[in-house]
Amino acid sequence: MAPAAEERYLYLAIYVITIATGFPANLLALHAFIRKLRINATPNAVLLFNLTISDLSFLTFLPFKVTEVFQGQWSMPSFLCPLSGLFYFSTIYSSTLFLTAVSVERYLGVAFPLKYKLYRKPSYAVAISGFLWVCSFAHCSIVYVTEYHQASNISSDRFVCYDNFTEKQLEVLLPFRLELSLLLFCLPFFITCFCYGSFIRILISSPHIHKDKKQRAIGLVLTTLCVFAICFAPYNVSHLVGFVKKENLKWREKALLLSTFNASLDPVIFYFSSTAVQHSCKRCLMRLHVCHPSPALHRIMDKQSIKLGPAQASDSFKD
């Protein structure tokens, strides 16, 4: 999927910026969630932990894209092409699924606080996470089907990866892409909009919830919807248009490029979603000598980092 020569530097710049910003931010979040899960595991922390793993997996295989774009062709071992493609596309859709799961967890926590408290167990979140991983990877296994079918029709000297499909391949691939966009993007997006719309409405109408918590919840919702709109929507729209036109659209690669920003934007969601991530960010800034809080603030943060468990419905996003 190498871009044209005149666009190569744009692709390289976006990939390098994503890796440079996404890796440290997600590693910091990963450290925070591991610490949170050891102290007081919650369903929200489990889901956000898996979302972090998804982002880090995406970033781990992104250097393969950088190499392909830099060289202008796929010159690495052929088995790495479908493997990197599988992780590249699967983690994109696993991100949409985990973001949706987080929105459902938030909504249930404020809409049905007493009933949901009976079922708010980390083990359930682990089981749901496993199902979402299987769902995303199983659907995106089409990468292996198309690549190995293509390998039987062309020489071993591969110049592109997951591109230049035959008419026979498109007959299978285009309907499958349509199913991906409907099942793994449109449906999760509508569920997320409903859950977060209801979530904000309930929070704003609750006078006992502090203004800071309301603002943090609004930031969480806006960031999540921006990720869906900027990172995921254009690429999935290309699936719909491609199915209607019965072709592999040329601008699909540019739409896919936007999904790369997801790995850099998700840590913003982590910050609004979890006090554990907020405390980790503050501790990191202290160690870098960016800020110099007083000893009293140090003690407060240490106490808060231990008391991270939710106690009531209004704390459903205090993880």
Instruction: Express each pLDDT in 75-85 by its tens digit.
Output: 888 888 888 88
pLDDT tens-digit profile of 138-151?
988 887 767 555 54
User: In this structure, are residues 255 and 230 in contact, taking their beta carbons and an 8 Å threshold?
Assistant: no
Helix H or strand E encompassing 83: helix 80-111
CB 319 within 8 A of CB 275: yes
What per-residue confidence (pLDDT) applies to 69? 87
The span from the first CA to the last CA of the chain, in angstroms, equals: 40
Q: Which two tokens stand for residue 27?
A: 């590693």
| Mean pLDDT, residues 79-108 | 92
For the chain, give the mean pLDDT. 83
| Six token digits for residue 300 | 């407060």
Question: Is pLDDT above 70 for 289?
Answer: no
Backbone angles phi, psi at 169, to 5 degrees: -65, -40
Joined together, the tokens standing for residue 247 give 């072709």
Contact 97, 57 (CB under 8 A): no
Q: Is residue 297 over pLDDT 80?
A: no
Confidence of residue 309 (pLDDT cuts 50, 70, 90): very low
Q: Are 66 and 16 in contact (CB under 8 A)?
A: yes
The lowest-confidence range among 17-26, 164-173, 229-238 is 164-173
Q: How confident is the model at residue 178 (pLDDT cuts 50, 70, 90)?
A: very high
pLDDT of residue 5: 66
Give the torsion through C-alpha atoms of 61, 23, 259, 3, to 10 deg.
Answer: -50
